[in-house]
């Protein structure tokens, strides 16, 4: 998708280290592309840091998306600060619904952290944003099959 980013207006991906790499690569190919990060409500350090203009270290995190519980460091924060256009925050229920949709529709088991981009794209916040109305070319990164089978089963049973 990164090599095709010249055809996308937006890329929506999960936060953490991946967002930094995606932002750097996509902006190198298409400087006008807009980068959107997705984060869980219980670990929204990027959203809070972008709003404050400095790194915010959360005292604790609480989310099903265990791969997104880490905090920004000295290398990732400047990239997020300067290249990520917006952060969409979603709750764990939305993440579980996205996991379920991936499994039922795409037949792909996706870990909670990897499903958050889809969860953000399906959220009311996203659908009410200008992005939803400005573009029909939005790339969503869905990644990671490192899902606890118990978590996957529980999400499918909801």
pTM score of the predicted model: 0.86
* Between 78 and 128, the higher pLDDT residue: 78
Closest to 89 measured CA to CA, from 53, 55, 59, 117: 117
Element (H, E) at 35: strand 34-40
Q: What is the pLDDT of residues 77-116, one digit of tens each?
A: 899 999 999 899 999 999 999 999 998 899 988 889 999 9
CATH architecture of 2-157: 3-Layer(aba) Sandwich (3.40)
Mapped onto helix, strand or coil, the DSSP state of residue 158 is: coil
Angle separating helix axes 92-101 and 149-157, nearest 10 degrees = 90
Domain layout of the chain by residue ranges:
2-157
The predicted pLDDT at position 6 comes to: 57
């Amino acid at each position: 998708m990164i090599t095709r980013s010249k055809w996308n207006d937006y890329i929506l991906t999960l936060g953490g280290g991946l967002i930094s790499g995606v932002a750097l690569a996509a902006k190198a190919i298409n400087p006008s592309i807009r980068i959107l990060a997705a984060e869980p409500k219980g670990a929204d350090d990027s959203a809070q840091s972008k709003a404050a203009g400095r790194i915010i270290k959360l005292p604790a995190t609480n989310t099903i998306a265990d791969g997104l519980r880490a905090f920004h460091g000295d290398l990732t924060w400047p990239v997020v600060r300067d290249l990520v256009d917006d952060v969409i925050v979603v709750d764990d229920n939305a993440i579980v619904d996205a996991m379920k949709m991936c499994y039922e529709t795409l037949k792909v088991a996706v870990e909670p952290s990897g499903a958050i981009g889809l969860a953000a794209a399906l959220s009311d916040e996203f659908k009410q944003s200008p992005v939803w109305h400005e573009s029909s070319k939005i790339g969503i990164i869905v990644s990671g099959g490192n899902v606890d089978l118990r978590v996957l089963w529980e999400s499918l049973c909801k």
